[in-house]
Amino acid sequence: MDRIVFEAITKEDVKDALILYNHYIRTSTSTFSIAPIKEDEMVQILFSGMDRFPSYKILFEGKFVGYVLLNRYKPREAYDQTAEVTVYLDEAFQGRGIGYEALKYIENFARNHNFRALLGVICAENTGSIRLFEGLGYFKCGHFKEVGKKFDRLLDVVIYEKLLEC
């Protein structure tokens, strides 16, 4: 897919990422944030300050359509080979294989940086994300019942995992 490009996210991309993320806060259970966030919070999400946990913008035909990143799973050294994967994609660009390519891209980064396990933390009703992760070989390894509340509904969270060969 030549029309899809991944580039390290920069400070200039924060506003685009913020608009996208706040859209999902207002309209979906893709995130359990309830109130729109501000730019400084988006900076914290996108820039961990650790090279092992990068963020990439997703460009489709030169247009910002989303981002993909690795988050530190837990702040203990024993977890340094594990990361949480996050992908946000503009709804208008879903269903075109872009999310699939983004997940493959971040997996390759993780493999090349000696990660062993990648985790997807997904609201159980987000069947599109579940299909995306399952389609790339992630398996369901956890199901937390009614751990989040949004839009006056109690929501389940599922965890999908993929073990990488290093």
Closest CA to 132 of 54, 52, 30, 56: 30
Torsion sign across C-alpha atoms 13, 64, 138, 159: positive
Domains of the chain: total: 1
Any idea what the CATH number is for the domain that residue 98 is in? 3.40.630.30
Contact (Cβ atoms closer than 8 angstroms) between residue 22 and residue 113 = no
Closest alpha carbon to 107 in 129, 127, 136, 135: 136
Looking at residue 66, its pLDDT comes to 98
Closest C-alpha to 37, from 76, 88, 102, 74 = 88
pLDDT by residue for the chain (166 residues), tens only, comes to: 579 999 999 999 999 999 999 999 999 999 999 999 999 999 999 998 888 999 999 999 999 999 999 999 999 999 999 999 999 999 999 999 999 999 999 999 999 999 999 999 999 999 999 999 999 999 999 999 999 999 999 999 999 999 998 6
What is the structure's pLDDT at 165? 85
**What is the DSSP track for 13-61?**
GHHHHHHHHHHHHHH-SSS---SPPPHHHHHHHH--S-TTS-EEEEEET
Residue with tokens 């389609």: 135
The domain in which residue 12 lies consists of 4-163
